[in-house]
Structure 1
Amino acid sequence: MTDQKRRGIYLLPNLLTTAGLFSGFFAIVSSMNGRFEAAAIAIFVAMIFDGLDGRVARMTNTQSEFGAEYDSMADMVSFGVAPALVAYNWGLTGLGKIGWLAAFIYVAGAALRLARFNTQIGIADSRYFQGLASPAAAALVAGLIWVGVEYDVNGQDYGIIVAFITGVSGLLMVSNFKYNSFKELNLHGKVPFVALLLIMLVFVVVATEPALVLFVVFAIYALAGPINTFRTVDKVRLEDVVGDAVEMHEEDEQSPKCNKTEDK
């Protein structure tokens, strides 16, 4: 009985992860059938499930190594492969090699971003993400496609712009730009009544033009990383933009946990 319990998996958080994985796969299939609006929305739905599974696991004390690995695999599909293929089918096929190279840059950036994130768990500053998080990058690409569909824009006519945003999103994921993680927000504390009104206002604004509002929000967030990084350093170095940051080297030398993870 003990062995069976050890080999089992927790249902609820992994069910949410599966729902996110399904949403990413649905986005790919929808784009293959020319349903780009449904594909873009499915990526945003995957973001919701991705945000829920980890929080539910912590709230119910059902975290597991299996769940963490499964979540990474699902993220690679939903926020790595799906956005790249949807963007390729919508606006990059007419560019030939440039089109699929831009899509590949995004996929490779997502894979490297997820791998780096997994190796830095427990040693990185939880207040910031190193590089654009893959769900945010996926939201930027999906938001662009959703806006294009809403305004009857033919993606093939603006393939260069689609390739630029897709490629840059992939590069931002592997950059060293600092992005606020918002993990320091206290969701359990009390807030003024006006805060609830502001939240309601946000929902109303998003509901009026969800595609445009979401795209603008995530575009601003993507730009906030370089701005935040350049604002906090006296002299911009290559390590502040890409590569191994100096601070990370110092932590690697002092942290046995990180060295063990790297050897693995």
Structure 2
Amino acid sequence: MAPQPNRPRRLRDLRSVPVLPSLITLGNLYFGFLAMAKVTDVVREQGMSVDVIRNPEVLGHFEIAAFFLFLAMVFDALDGRVARMTNQTTAFGGQLDSLADVVTFGVAPAFCAKVLINLYEGNPDALLPPHPKVYYFCAAVYVLCAAMRLARFNVEAAAGEGDDHLEFRGLPTPGAAAVVAAVLAFWCSRKETNNVVTGWLFPPEIFDHVVVALPGLLVLLGLAMVSKLPYPHAFGLLVSRRAGSFPLLASLVLLIGLCTVEWQLGLLVCTLTYLLSGPVVGLYRLVRRGRVDPPDRDGEGVASSPSVDLTVPGRY
């Protein structure tokens, strides 16, 4: 067997694993597992009967699972910053972060959504036709696209592409998981009796219609993750000097107010707005680029200064 001269150095690198950032990353993975375990308790305790849809205990399990997914996002946002603050950025941390993200933001949201779909599958009043293979496919598309999204980022990071922490190329995996978690939380709000805004805006059947749309939403989220649509880095945008926008501030105030009144609806609005921001910004840039470079009389483009692509990969 050929000798491996770099093996001692690799072993030394493993002996110097950063403890605090790794613990935070493992916290991300831990809460992703808890979300799946909490949803599994529904099947273990209540079974798959159609009567469990409006069971308060079932709604509580899904609500806690959604909370765990959001809590995992907090840990995911902290581990990289803690590693940079303590000067403990290592290859081990990057690999652990990607593995944790595949489970927490790839497998866990699809699993929770699939269990909820299964609860509706046999309900004749839920408007969800029984096509189990289609539902398996939709959930699998989400998981596979999340894995490809993370793998693409690792390749781009290894190639040394820059990141100004202002924009992602494709929907980030935590953003996709946030949409699924917000849908779960909104569905669980059907047990609330004082949701005035939801009752004023939507009919009572809205909660069932959300689940009907969930398989298609999983596919849409998967395609958005592997796309190259520009998505803003929310935290980086807020602390950037280029984010001094009064309309943005006013919109955030309105969203915070909505979350204060009905946090489930507020989270759903926030996450869906973020999901739609990629296509909207991408289309705006495409139209703007066409206006900047109009064709000349002979049908050929007028020479202009090269455009700068501000789309950069972001950290997951």
Decide: shared fold, TM above 0.5: yes
Off by >4 Å, runs of 4+ in structure 1: 2-6, 152-159, 195-205
State the TM-score, normalized to the length of structure 2: 0.65
Alignment of 1:148-167 (within 5 A): 148-152=187-191, 159-167=211-219
Name the residue aligned to 2:23: 15
1:135 corresponds to 2:185: no
1:219 corresponds to 2:219: no
State whether residues 31 and 89 of structure 1, in contact with CA within 8 Å, keep that contact through their aligned partners in structure 2. Answer: yes
Code of the residue aligned with 2:232 in structure 1: it is N
Structure 1 residue 235: Cα displacement: 9.1
Task: Name which of 135, 143, 149 aligns with 1:113.
Answer: 149
Structure 1 residue 187: Cα displacement: 7.0
Structure 1 residue 234: Cα displacement: 3.7
**What percent identity do the matched residue pairs reach?**
36
State whether residues 91 and 159 of structure 1, in contact with CA within 8 Å, keep that contact through their aligned partners in structure 2. Answer: yes
Code of the residue aligned with 1:211 in structure 2: it is Q
CA distance in 1, matches of 2:85, 2:74: 16
Structure 1 residue 38: Cα displacement: 0.9
Structure 1 residue 198: Cα displacement: 9.9
1:58 corresponds to 2:84: yes
When Rg is computed on C-alpha atoms for both structures, the one with the higher figure is 2
Structure 1 residue 129: Cα displacement: 1.0
Code of the residue aligned with 2:184 in structure 1: it is I
The answer to which of 114-123 and 178-187 deviates more is 178-187
Code of the residue aligned with 1:232 in structure 2: it is R
State the TM-score, normalized to the length of structure 1: 0.77
CA distance in 1, matches of 2:266, 2:107: 24
CA distance in 1, matches of 2:225, 2:252: 29
Name the residue aligned to 2:139: 103
Structure 1 residue 217: Cα displacement: 0.4
CA distance in 1, matches of 2:13, 2:286: 50
State whether residues 29 and 100 of structure 2, in contact with CA within 8 Å, keep that contact through their aligned partners in structure 1. Answer: yes
Unaligned runs of 5+ in 2: 1-8, 43-60, 122-130, 192-204, 290-316
State whether residues 92 and 156 of structure 1, in contact with CA within 8 Å, keep that contact through their aligned partners in structure 2. Answer: no
Where 1:176 maps in the other structure, the secondary structure is coil
Name the residue aligned to 2:96: 70
Count matched residues: 230
Code of the residue aligned with 1:181 in structure 2: it is H
Structure 1 residue 156: Cα displacement: 7.2
Where 1:9 maps in the other structure, the secondary structure is coil
State whether residues 91 and 157 of structure 1, in contact with CA within 8 Å, keep that contact through their aligned partners in structure 2. Answer: no
State whether residues 72 and 114 of structure 1, in contact with CA within 8 Å, keep that contact through their aligned partners in structure 2. Answer: yes
Structure 1 residue 88: Cα displacement: 0.3
State whether residues 24 and 42 of structure 1, in contact with CA within 8 Å, keep that contact through their aligned partners in structure 2. Answer: yes
Task: Name which of 90, 95, 117 aligns with 2:116.
Answer: 90
CA deviation string 1:26-65 (max 9, x = no partner): 0001111122111111100000000011111111111111
CA distance in 2, matches of 1:155, 1:88: 16
Q: Which of structures 1 and 2 has the larger relative contact order (alpha carbons within 8 angstroms, sep 6+)?
A: 2
Where 1:33 maps in the other structure, the secondary structure is helix
CA distance in 1, matches of 2:269, 2:153: 26
CA deviation string 1:199-246 (max 9, x = no partner): 88865643432221111101001001001001101499xxxxxxxxxx
Name the residue aligned to 2:161: 123
1:49 corresponds to 2:42: no
CA 176–124 in structure 1, closer or farther in 2 if over 3 Å, else same: farther
Unaligned runs of 5+ in 1: 237-264
Structure 1 residue 160: Cα displacement: 3.2
State whether residues 91 and 154 of structure 1, in contact with CA within 8 Å, keep that contact through their aligned partners in structure 2. Answer: no
